[in-house]
Amino acid sequence: MRPIDKGTSAVAYTTYGSARHDLAEQIGYYCSYCEMGTNNMIEVEHVHPIHHGGDELDWRNFLLSCKYCNTIKSDDNISRAGYFWPDIDNTDLLFDYTLDERILEARTNLTPDQNSQAEALIKLVGLNRYPGNAEPPTEADTRWRLRDEVRTTAMSSYNRWSKIRADIGNPYRIDMAEQIAETSLIGFYSLWCKIFEGEQTVLDSIDLLWQGKFHNFKQFDPITGSRLIRHGGQI
């Protein structure tokens, strides 16, 4: 799950839906949870549900969500506590795809408390729903289908990259890495990072593009080299 920095807003919203395009200008037309690209059905989601005291019009309480994630999450969480969130936590350090890149799960190196909160978010939004899994998707939930389509595209890109990656002197090598990064903009950022795991040239191109266009949050301590934790975040 990509960590995002939506920044601040000077706008005083009278309806929360009117923040949709402002949010998308910052973090793109992607679901903040499943990472699916969706221009038409993107919704403004309240991280802290209104029914549990969340501010209806506060930018800090907004994320973008696809209809599926928003509907599944509903108002089941009573607050932000007990979960990780992509607007304050380095969520890419918490989640990973299984070896076949189909199902999201908590990373194995987490502490028990981190694992509990990561699993809580997966369950809250139904991020591991896949046919044959413990919690299969509903007929209307097509997130897994779209993710599988992107996986096929990413694997095809990887196979092409593998033919040229060792040819350091090839003038088209960097061009191909940049083209792969452009293609990754179709969505499911973390899936691309998983498939190109260990291919630093491609990963650097992907991160450079996404950070420049959609404000992924990846900042490092200049002394230790470790990832910086934002105010309010846990990891």
pLDDT for 41 equals 85
Parse the chain into domains and list their residue ranges: 143-214
DSSP state of 136: P
Ranges of residues in the chain with a pLDDT under 50 are: none
pLDDT of residue 171: 86
Helix (H, G, I), strand (E, B) or coil at 184: helix
Q: Are 216 and 210 in contact (CB under 8 A)?
A: yes
- Could you give the percent of the chain with pLDDT greater than 90? 93
> Residue 101 has what pLDDT?
86
pTM of the model: 0.95
pLDDT of amino acid 40: 82
CA distance 192 to 188: 7
DSSP-assigned states of every residue in the chain: ---B---------SSGGGGHHHHHHHH-SB-TTT-BB-SSS-EEEESS-GGGT--TT-GGGEEEE-HHHHHHHTT--SSSTTS--TTTS-GGGTEEE-TTS-SEEE-TTS-HHHHHHHHHHHHHHTTT--TTSSSPPPTT--HHHHHHHHHHHHHHHHHHHHTTTT-TT-TTHHHHHHHHHHHGGGB-HHHHHHHTTT-HHHHHHHHHHHHHHH-B---B-TTT-PBPPPTT---
Query: Phi/psi at 218 (nearest 5 deg)?
Result: -140, 90
**Tokens for 73?**
């999450």
Predicted confidence at residue 99, as pLDDT, reads 77
